[in-house]
């Protein structure tokens, strides 16, 4: 008990003296995820170190004794996008998409991880204001209204596609300064600019926040085909026809030779 109190006191002192001297260094094992023809999802390592410039403080020695005095939260998300959520209803005996809600500015990919359950070290208010956790993703429609059951449905859908993930406890810390987390990206991830945010939390407050960029892009033939289809639709259509006709004639020719 006494030790715990001293730890708190020390860390408070430490915080007050040396917060500015601490730096958080983070990086990803790759700054870019390339979607190629063999792409079947990807895993990335997010790692970092908390650098303590302890020279300003004489408390350094005690720090090692007090144990881990901070928690790490990592959030990786894609650019905000607009999505339509449709609800099926039974009409005339069959299930038909009936009502829908368009939501603006929601992430197409959102993964959050941390050293332990958020509630153990961060107040719900703080979680909400920072938008941490799936329940705190802002899901609103055109009129900036919350969309109730559609929000739950969106999260459920995205979780089942592994595009939204909550993985508390996936951040491991070594020697109190090095931390790492493995991030999981499914093959259906959206392309675009991603951001990876790392929060250092101490005493229920975010002390440092560091952001790393991540680019997810199709490369090679995949990119070429996708861009071609979306930028020059008429040419793509003609190419698709020519490919089909030549492939059809060629395979017919081969088949005749063989049989």
Partner 1 sequence: MQIYLPIAELSMNIFVLLAMGGGVGFLSGMFGVGGGFLMTPLLIFSGVPPAIAVATEANQITAASVSGAVAHWRRGGVDFKMGLVLIAGGIVGTYLGAMIFTYLRSIGQVDLMISLAYVIFLGSIGGLMFVESVRSIIRARSGEVQKVVRRQRTWVDALPFKMRFRKSKMYISVILPLAIGALVGILAAIMGVGGGFIMVPAMIYLLHMPTNVVIGTSLFQITFVTAAATYLHSINTQTVDVVLALILLTAAVIGAQMGAVVGAKLKGEQLRILLAGMVLLVCAKMAFDLVVEPEELFSVSAIGAEVSH
Which chain residues interact with partner 1 by CB under 8 A? Answer: 35-41, 81-90, 93-97, 100, 102, 149-150, 153-154, 156-158, 160-161, 187-188, 218, 221-223, 225-226, 229-230, 233-234, 236-241, 243-245, 247-249, 251-255, 258-259
Choose between 190 and 204: whose C-beta lies nearer to partner 1.
190
Rounded to a whole number of angstroms, the minimum distance from the CB of residue 160 to partner 1 is 8
- Tell me how many degrees the CA angle 194-220-233 measures, rounded to the nearest 5: 90
Rounded to a whole number of angstroms, the minimum distance from the CB of residue 34 to partner 1 is 11
Backbone angles phi, psi at 108, to 5 degrees: -85, -15
Say how many C-beta atoms besides its own lie within 10 A of residue 259's C-beta: 5
Rounded to a whole number of angstroms, the minimum distance from the CB of residue 194 to partner 1 is 16
Choose between 96 and 215: whose C-beta lies nearer to partner 1.
96
Tokens read off for 187 = 């093959």
Choose between 130 and 225: whose C-beta lies nearer to partner 1.
225
User: Looking up tokens 């449709």, which residue turns up?
Assistant: 86
Choose between 82 and 203: whose C-beta lies nearer to partner 1.
82
Tokens read off for 183 = 């991030």
Choose between 83 and 200: whose C-beta lies nearer to partner 1.
83
Comparing C-alpha atoms, which of 7, 15, 44, 14 is closest to residue 27? Answer: 44
Choose between 24 and 137: whose C-beta lies nearer to partner 1.
137
Q: Are the C-beta atoms of 10 and 63 separated by less than 8 Å?
A: yes
Choose between 16 and 234: whose C-beta lies nearer to partner 1.
234
Q: Are the C-beta atoms of 32 and 216 separated by less than 8 Å?
A: yes
Integer CA distances (angstroms), 252 to 113, 240, 255, 259, in order = 54, 18, 5, 11
User: Across-strand partners of 62?
Assistant: none
Distance CA 197, CA 123 (A): 19
User: Looking up tokens 């508390």, which residue turns up?
Assistant: 168
Rounded to a whole number of angstroms, the minimum distance from the CB of residue 214 to partner 1 is 18
Tokens read off for 231 = 């930028």
Spatial neighbors of 12 by CB under 8 A, at least 6 apart, are: 203
CA dihedral 172, 173, 178, 180 (to 10 degrees): 10
Rounded to a whole number of angstroms, the minimum distance from the CB of residue 143 to partner 1 is 17
Rounded to a whole number of angstroms, the minimum distance from the CB of residue 95 to partner 1 is 6
Rounded to a whole number of angstroms, the minimum distance from the CB of residue 29 to partner 1 is 21
């Amino acid at each position: 008990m006494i030790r715990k109190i001293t730890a708190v006191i020390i860390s408070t002192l430490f915080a007050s003296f040396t917060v500015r001297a601490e730096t958080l260094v983070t990086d990803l094992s790759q700054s870019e995820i390339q979607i190629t023809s063999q792409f079947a999802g990807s895993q990335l390592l997010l790692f970092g170190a908390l650098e303590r410039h302890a020279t300003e403080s004489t408390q350094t020695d005690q720090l090692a004794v007090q144990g881990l005095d901070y928690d790490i939260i990592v959030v990786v998300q894609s650019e905000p996008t607009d999505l339509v959520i449709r609800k099926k209803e039974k009409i005339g005996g069959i299930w038909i998409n009936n009502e829908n809600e368009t939501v603006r500015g929601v992430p197409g990919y959102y993964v959050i991880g941390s050293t332990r359950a958020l509630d153990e070290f961060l107040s719900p208010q703080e979680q909400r204001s920072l938008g941490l956790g799936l329940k705190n993703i802002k899901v609103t429609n055109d009129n900036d209204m919350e969309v109730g059951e559609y929000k739950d449905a969106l999260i459920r859908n995205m979780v089942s596609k592994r595009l939204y993930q909550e993985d508390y406890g996936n951040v491991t810390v070594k020697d109190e300064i090095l931390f790492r987390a493995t991030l999981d990206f499914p093959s259906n991830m959206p392309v675009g600019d991603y951001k990876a945010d790392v929060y250092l939390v101490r005493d229920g407050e975010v002390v440092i926040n560091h952001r790393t960029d991540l680019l997810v892009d199709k490369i090679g033939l995949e990119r070429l085909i996708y861009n071609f289809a979306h930028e020059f639709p008429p040419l793509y259509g003609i190419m698709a026809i020519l490919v089909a006709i030549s492939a059809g004639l060629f395979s017919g020719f081969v088949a005749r030779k063989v049989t």
